[in-house]
């Protein structure tokens, strides 16, 4: 089973994904709270989870709970595909339903048990993920779009309003 949590209006064409959202849209299979839905899922029974533009809508303690629950339901080596606005872009602040703090790449360090045990054992996470993070940029922005990949990488890491989204893949350890 693959879960698309907070799927909204995203159309899944492959039929493999189960859409869950608190609002009713055509492609939502289960109209309910994500946390309530996850309580119905058996441990280690989910292959993959998609969280596209969902994570930023939760309070910090809810984010911790969400990632711990996702970890619980994921199979070994299961993956979470998480996309959210970058802290360094205006889009992270424009939507009044986004919660503070905005998401940055450091967010994912806390989801790794080894790092957390050494640096932040107080934070409440019990999950354990390896992760990789990339960013996306506005392909219509001439300041970035026509640069070589090395320059794009430097710009995205050091400039405000260049990285639009953080795109993370978390793999259950």
pLDDT averaged over the chain? Answer: 94
At the topology level, CATH places domain 2-136+165-172 in Rossmann fold (3.40.50)
pLDDT value of position 62: 98
Residues whose CB falls within 8 Å of the CB of residue 116, separated by 6 or more in sequence, listed in order: 109, 110, 123, 125
Which has more confidence, 79 or 157?
79
Q: How is the chain split into domains, by residue range?
A: 2-136+165-172
Tokens of 23: 């609002």
Three-state SS for 2-39 is EEEECCCCCCCCCCCEEEEECCCCCCCCEECCHHHHHH
| Confidence band of 61 (pLDDT split at 50, 70, 90) | very high
- State pTM to two decimals: 0.93
| Confidence band of 63 (pLDDT split at 50, 70, 90) | very high
* Degrees to nearest 5, angle at CA 163 with 110 and 116: 5
């Amino acid at each position: 089973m693959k879960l698309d949590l907070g799927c909204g209006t995203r159309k899944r064409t492959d039929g493999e994904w189960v859409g869950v959202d608190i609002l009713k849209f055509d492609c939502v299979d289960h109209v309910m709270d994500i946390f309530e839905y996850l309580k119905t899922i058996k441990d280690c029974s989910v292959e993959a989870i998609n969280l596209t533009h969902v994570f930023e809508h939760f309070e910090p303690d809810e984010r911790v709970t969400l990632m711990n629950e996702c970890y619980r339901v994921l199979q070994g080596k299961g993956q979470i595909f998480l996309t959210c606005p970058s802290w360094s872009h205006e889009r992270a602040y424009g939507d009044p339903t986004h919660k503070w703090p905005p998401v940055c790449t450091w967010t994912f360090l806390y989801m790794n048990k080894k790092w957390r045990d050494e640096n932040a054992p107080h934070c409440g996470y019990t999950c354990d993920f390896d992760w990789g993070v990339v960013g996306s940029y506005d392909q219509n922005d001439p300041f970035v779009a026509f640069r070589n990949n090395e320059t794009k990488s430097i710009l995205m890491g050091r400039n405000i309003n260049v990285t639009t989204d953080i795109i993370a893949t978390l793999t259950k350890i």
